[in-house]
Every structure is written in C-alpha cells, then in structure tokens.
C-alpha cells in the first residue's frame, strides 16, 4: 500500500507568483525613505548651508582679531574688510596725492636765437605736506638732476610749475615746492619699520611718462633692509650702498619718486629703482619712509644735506692689487681690508690731525672699516659735525691712532 499525502499537491504557478512579488516590499520602503529625504532632510540641509554661508560671509566681512584681557576672556579688537574692495578704496583715496614730475632743460634754438624748455626726463612724486598756500612734494634726486625748471603734473593732468628746494645724491631724494591751490590730497605717512615680508604693497606712479599717469601695480613686500651698491660717477666702483625695500609690485621707468603704500593707504616707501637684467623679473626697490623722513626734513629746512667729513679722497683697499698691500703700503698679512687715503685737502680736519697720503684707515671709534662704504656709513649715519672721532690707521706698516674733529661738508 503506497504512502498517501493528506495535504494539497504543490502548485508550481503559485510558487512562482510569490517569488515574483518579493521585490515589491523593498521598493515601497525605498520610495518612502526617498520621499522623506526630499521633503524633510534636503530643505533642512539647504537652510543650514545657507546659514553657514551667511555666517562665513559675515566672518569675512568682520574678521575678528582676537586678544585676551586680564581675565583670559577673548574679546574682539579689530575689523577687517574684503581685501579687493579695500585696495580699490585705498587707491582711490591715495591717487590724488601722487603726481608726475617733468625735468625741463633749456635748449638753444639756432634759427630763432632763443632758448626753449625741452623735456629731459619724467618721473613721479608724492605730495606729503601742505602749509599755507604751499604744497611740498618728495621725489628722487635722479628725476630732477640737472633740471633748469621742474613741472608737476597732478592726477587730473593739471600742470603746475615747481621749485627745487633741495636734493641729495646719496639718498636719491629731492624736495619740491609748488602752489597748493589745486592740491586735493596729502598722503598719509606710515612706517617702514614694522613692515613684514609677504604683506601687500601697492605702487602708484607714472611709468613711461605721463601717457600712463596714475598707474597702479600690486604685489607684496619681497624683502626688507636690502643693500644695493650705488655707482654715482659710473667708474665701475661702488660709492655708496642704499638700504631699500624690495617689492614685486611693478616699478618701471617713470615710477621713480612715486608712492609705495600699504593696505591702509599709508606711505611706506619712495619708489626709486628696479633691477634691470634680462634674467630678472619683479625686483623693484623703494626707499624706506622711516629713512627718508629725516632727509626730507633737512632738505626742506636747509636745501641740502650737510654731512660730517674728514677732508680726504679715499678708495677701498680691495681696489688695490694684493701685491701692493705689502710692497707699497707695507701692510701686515693679517690686514683684511680698509680705506686708503689718496689725497688730503689742505687745512681740512684730516690734514690738521696729521693724516697723510697712502695711510690706510682700518677703524673709526673702534668700528671696523673694510672699505670706503663702511667709512662713509659710520660718518654719515652715526656721527655729527663737531664730533671727535678716533681714527686707527696704518702708515708704512705701523699701526697708529689720531683724533679728528669732524667738519661739515
């Protein structure tokens, strides 16, 4: 007798139908989650993102420079605005104080038998002071050097005659005086003593003449306290070393004498020169304003820089062949540098102190003198007219000392 199954026999069609419906439930759950996400989560996320963006914008517009009071509580002390907007506003504010400077020289007209003024060069300048009906402009010495007349061109192209009060070749600074009736703005003086490498710098001037007047270039402070040799008489030997600010803000011919300003619109330097070599880009140089201000004041007051002097014609010892150090000057082997005397002015302070031709000065007041520039820097930057200075020197191999009372140059 066979086995008998009391249950219903299997139905293959019903089993396949159940398998076909298994995907429906997960799909419905997924749709429900999607509807909830679209309806609830995304709007909340968007609202949060919008709030965050507003907060970021607010933080950018009002950047908290935080410091602490005595209790350790953080307090907000300064407000920083958007940099690009600030630069635009700064340039608009400072530009009227930056002028063009035209060097005019007289030239003879053979046919008309008269002299005419011709443009010998152009540069830039900065209006730094107005007093009564007179405005004062600082520019570079090399911009107005040799000029018979000088003309100042305001930012609105108004030309005004100017007088040269004084100039100085060593600092490459000059001061002009003109009528102030058309002057709209005087630059705000800043400080170059606290500038930092990497901070923004803006140069304003007239590159390539008045065609590009009031040109603005932007960069950063690339270096501070740079030292650049200066050859005034073009004899291939350095006569001085200028201490300058380095910037990559473009400074081109015609920018000389223009303004280097910081992000707050304050004057921090007088643009002076650039490194002009084929393999070099973006090295502009500016006279630090902290160094320039005393020179400007003396030029304005006296019309010239009156410096202490010894009364000698000197040259750097390294310009003399090494064989002559021993054979002619009789210097010991341990002497590494100095300034040798080529001539002595009669009745000068050096002459009265007994300095002679071919003496080699190695110290002033115990400060080493390795070359002519060292000697000038000590005299011009550390000493005053009338000071008593101890001079240490070699004469025919013997180390000697004398005291010189500095005169005025």
* Residue 182 bears catalytic tag: no
Rounded CA separation 181/129 (Å) = 13
**Sequence-ordered strand ranges (E) for 248-283:** 259-261, 266-274
| Of 109, 139, 106, nearest in space to 124 by CA | 139
* From 167, 172, 272, 374, the catalytic residue: 172
Tally: H helices and E strands in the chain:
9, 23
Structure-token pair, residue 370 = 């390795």
What H or E segment, with its residue span, contains residue 137? strand 134-139
Q: DSSP alpha helices (H): ranges in 349-407?
A: 349-352, 372-382
Contact 283, 242 (CB under 8 A): no
| Of 124, 121, 123, nearest in space to 95 by CA | 124
| Of 109, 96, 256, 123, nearest in space to 184 by CA | 96
User: What are residue 100's phi and psi, to 5 degrees?
Assistant: -95, 150
Structure-token pair, residue 298 = 């003396």
User: DSSP 3-state assignment of 39?
Assistant: helix
User: What are residue 132's phi and psi, to 5 degrees?
Assistant: 60, -120
* From 124, 141, 142, 192, the catalytic residue: 142
Q: DSSP alpha helices (H): ranges in 137-252?
A: 141-144
What H or E segment, with its residue span, contains residue 14? helix 12-20
Hunting for tokens 């910081």 — which residue is that? 262
Structure-token pair, residue 157 = 């192209």
* From 124, 167, 180, 256, the catalytic residue: 256
Which residues are part of the catalytic machinery?
A: 142, 172, 256
């Amino acid at each position: 007798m066979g086995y008998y199954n009391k249950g219903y026999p299997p139905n293959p069609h019903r089993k396949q139908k159940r398998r076909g419906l298994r995907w429906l439930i997960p799909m419905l759950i997924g749709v429900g989650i999607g509807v909830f996400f679209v309806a609830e989560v995304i709007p909340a996320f968007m609202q949060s993102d919008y709030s965050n963006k507003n907060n970021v914008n607010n933080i950018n517009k009002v950047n908290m420079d935080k410091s602490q009071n005595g209790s350790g509580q953080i307090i907000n002390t300064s407000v920083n605005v958007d940099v690009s907007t600030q630069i635009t506003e700064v340039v608009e504010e400072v530009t009227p104080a930056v002028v063009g400077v035209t060097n005019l020289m007289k030239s003879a007209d053979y046919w008309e038998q008269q002299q005419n003024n011709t443009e010998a060069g152009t540069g830039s300048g900065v209006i730094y002071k107005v007093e009564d009906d007179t405005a004062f402009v600082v520019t570079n010495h090399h911009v107005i050097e040799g000029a018979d007349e000088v003309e100042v061109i305001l930012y609105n192209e108004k030309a005004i005659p100017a007088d040269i009060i004084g100039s100085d070749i060593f600092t490459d600074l000059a001061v002009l005086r003109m009528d102030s009736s058309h002057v709209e703005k005087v630059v705000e003086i800043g400080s170059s003593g606290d500038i930092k490498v990497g901070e923004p710098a803006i140069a304003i001037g007239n590159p390539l003449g008045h065609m590009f007047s009031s040109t603005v270039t932007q960069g950063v402070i690339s270096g501070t306290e740079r030292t650049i040799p200066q050859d005034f008489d073009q004899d291939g030997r350095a006569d001085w070393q200028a201490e300058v600010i380095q910037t990559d803000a473009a400074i081109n011919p015609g920018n000389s004498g223009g303004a280097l300003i910081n992000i707050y619109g304050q004057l921090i330097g007088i643009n002076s020169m650039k490194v002009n070599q084929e393999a070099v880009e973006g090295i502009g140089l500016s006279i630090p304003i902290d160094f320039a201000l005393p020179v400007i004041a003396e030029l304005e007051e006296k019309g010239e820089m009156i410096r202490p002097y010894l009364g000698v014609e000197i040259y750097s010892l390294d310009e003399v062949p090494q064989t002559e150090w021993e054979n002619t000057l009789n210097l010991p082997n341990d002497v590494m540098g100095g300034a040798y005397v080529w001539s002595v002015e009669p009745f000068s302070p050096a002459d009265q102190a007994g300095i002679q031709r071919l003496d080699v000065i190695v110290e002033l007041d115990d400060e080493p003198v390795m070359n002519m520039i060292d000697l000038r820097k000590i005299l011009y930057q550390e000493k005053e007219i009338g000071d008593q200075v101890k001079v240490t020197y070699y004469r025919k191999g013997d180390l000697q000392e004398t005291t010189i009372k500095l005169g005025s140059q």
